[in-house]
Amino acid sequence: YSDPHCASGRDSIVHLFEWKWTDIKAECERFLGPYGFCGVQVSPASEYAVVTNPNRPWWERYQPVSYNIISRSGNEQQFRDMVTTCNKAGVRIYVDTVFNHMTGSYSGIGTGGNHFDGGSCSFPGVPFGSQDCNGRDNCHTSDGSIHSYSDPIEVRNCRLQSMADLRLSKEYVRSKIAEYLNRLIDIGVAGIRVDAAKHMWPGDLQNIFSRLHDLRSDIFGPGKKPFVILEVIDMGGEPIKMTEYVGTGRVTNFIYGVKLADMFLRHSNQAKWLANFGEAWGMPSTYDVVVFLNNHDNQRGDGGGGDPITFWDPKPMKIATAFMLAHPYGFPRIMSSYRWNRNIQNGHDVNNWEGPPHNGDMSIKDVQVNADLSCSGDWVCEHRWREVYNMVAFRNVVAGTTLTNFHSYGDQVISFSRGSKGFIALVGDDSSLNSNINTGLPSGDYCDVISGNYENGACTGKTIHVDGSGNAHININGHSDDPVVAIHIGAKV
């Protein structure tokens, strides 16, 4: 469950948060395939509550009503089309799945027209009834909701934010969830993100996964298990640990992004300590984690998981992304966001509920792309920033090498090599770097893929000369917009 089944030579995924299936399909063909992305994490695909107060928040997608594939992103046919086209382009699809719970404690109608009543656990679209939710017998808080994260029984058996909590110990409930996941697998997805995994017993998850089909052998080859990303927020202060879930899939390493934010955003920690970043910092094995700078929750100040670097801080974002993609630890996920009317009052963003760019009828807006590869309107498309997509290619080129040659030249100024295939240097504060550095690379002229693109054998940015002993003169001003130099053997001029 920890192999993402990337097509060969690919190694990063992007979360296209709230994108429509038709747009993701187009993106696989026109961009993600050609630029070497392994895959896409897509927003929840199955029916969920239509919330109108506030009006169509992004978070309505996390309140399932049935497992029919029908959402603001599109219907089942469009979903199937996306999966088929993306696989043909060499790009995998991982679906965000929500099966810890159903809706909050109110009644209404779902995106597919099914009625629901979360209070009584009534979901005729599945169908689930009151006996399919946890209750007084195994959740002992007065109102049935989670109040304390220090009691693992409460966290697993009570309602997360009052949402109807599924009784995953039941055969029928397990079979319905496995049926949905198998439908996704048979369509051709490569894996899933498991929302709120911390709120489910590891044994229940293992039971459900043991029922899953192998991935489609016509696409992935025989005997392949789906990739599983378990959302477990473990910042170190609670009894429930990431390690309980390791082995059941890869866990989300939230501490990773927060540590990098401490360095490149807050300067409260020092990049020079990154020399042994990874397991030596008490983090799980590189093979057991997904790493990322921010996700759809903590980028809007929500959901625990710390205060991260986001697109609202473009410079730290580019520096930290370059570091993440150059560094061998973990399997990287890039967040691709939309802008909303951020409005922080007393430390809280009162508009952080706002859904994706939409038309008058609340349908999600198409993603339009510009000639310079950026996106228009409020789609941020971090994955289309030059510093980001060129580092996705860097990571593909240096795959299989180890980190060597780590040096620091000040608290926030570092460089390292990936064997003899790639080299990166960065300045994470207002200082500068002006040195002769051993890059570990064969002699030649290389395109700095941060300042420009490598196109038809030429470089639109800085060219870096590596001499016969592997040394190069590296000059970076920390005040510049892009205080990073990155070169690799796939971009020699």
Q: Which residues bind Ca ion (CB under 5 A)?
A: 100, 165, 199
CB of 253 to Ca ion, least distance (A): 22
Residue 245 sits at the vertex; the CA angle it makes with 383 and 139, to the nearest 5 degrees, is 110
Nearest to 392 by CA among 493, 488, 258, 482: 488
Sign (positive or negative) of CA dihedral 42, 47, 51, 52: positive
CB of 198 to ligand ARE, least distance (A): 5
Three-state secondary structure call for residue 434 = strand
Greatest distance between any 2 Cα atoms in the chain: 73
CB atoms within 10 A of CB 356: 22
Sign (positive or negative) of CA dihedral 42, 95, 38, 275: positive
List, by residue number, the catalytic residues.
195, 231
**Site for ligand ARE, residues 123 to 182, rule: CB under 6 A:** 149, 160-163
Residue among 63 and 85 whose Cβ is closer to ligand ARE: 63
Three-state secondary structure call for residue 383 = helix
Query: What are 69's strand-pairing partners?
Result: 46
Look up residue 383 and give its two tokens: 């994955």
- Binding-site string for ligand ARE from residue 266 to residue 305, where x marks contact by CB under 6 A and - marks none: -------------------------------x----xxx-
CB of 8 to ligand ARE, least distance (A): 31
d(C-alpha 413, C-alpha 84), whole Å:
44
Residue 312 interaction partner, one of Ca ion, ligand ARE, none, beta carbon < 5-8 Å per kind? none
Residue among 155 and 427 whose Cβ is closer to Ca ion: 155
Q: How far apart are the first and last CA of the chain?
A: 40
CB of 163 to ligand ARE, least distance (A): 5
Binder among 198, 333, 418, 421 for ligand ARE (CB under 6 A): 198
CB of 59 to ligand ARE, least distance (A): 3
Residue 161 interaction partner, one of ligand ARE, Ca ion, none, beta carbon < 5-8 Å per kind? ligand ARE
Residue among 97 and 100 whose Cβ is closer to Ca ion: 100
Q: Which amino acid is at 448?
A: D
Cβ burial of 410 (10 Å; 0-12, 13-18, 19+) is: middle
Please say whether the beta carbons of 425 and 437 come within 8 A.
yes
d(C-alpha 426, C-alpha 472), whole Å:
14
Residue among 165 and 482 whose Cβ is closer to Ca ion: 165
Residue 162 interaction partner, one of Ca ion, ligand ARE, none, beta carbon < 5-8 Å per kind? ligand ARE
**Site for ligand ARE, residues 47 to 86, rule: CB under 6 A:** 59-60, 62-63
- Binding-site string for ligand ARE from residue 419 to residue 448, where x marks contact by CB under 6 A and - marks none: ------------------------------
CB of 218 to ligand ARE, least distance (A): 32
CB of 257 to ligand ARE, least distance (A): 14
Residue 165 interaction partner, one of ligand ARE, Ca ion, none, beta carbon < 5-8 Å per kind? Ca ion
**Site for ligand ARE, residues 201 to 230, rule: CB under 6 A:** none
- Packing angle between helix 254-264 and helix 314-326, nearest 10 degrees? 130
Residue among 161 and 207 whose Cβ is closer to ligand ARE: 161
Number of Cα atoms under 13 Å in the Cβ half of residue 182 = 13
Please say whether the beta carbons of 408 and 433 come within 8 A.
no
Q: Tell me the residue number closest to Ca ion, measured at CB.
A: 199
Q: Should residue 196 be labelled a site residue for ligand ARE when binding is judged by CB under 6 A?
A: yes
Binder among 117, 151, 238, 411 for ligand ARE (CB under 6 A): 238
CB of 108 to ligand ARE, least distance (A): 10
Residue 6 interaction partner, one of ligand ARE, Ca ion, none, beta carbon < 5-8 Å per kind? none
Residue among 173 and 491 whose Cβ is closer to Ca ion: 173
CB neighbour list of residue 239: distance below 8 Å, 6 or more residues apart: 150, 151, 152
Nearest to 160 by CA among 239, 107, 105: 105
CB atoms within 10 A of CB 385: 20
Q: Which residues bind ligand ARE (CB under 6 A)?
A: 59-60, 62-63, 98, 104, 149, 160-163, 195-196, 198, 231, 233, 238, 297, 302-304
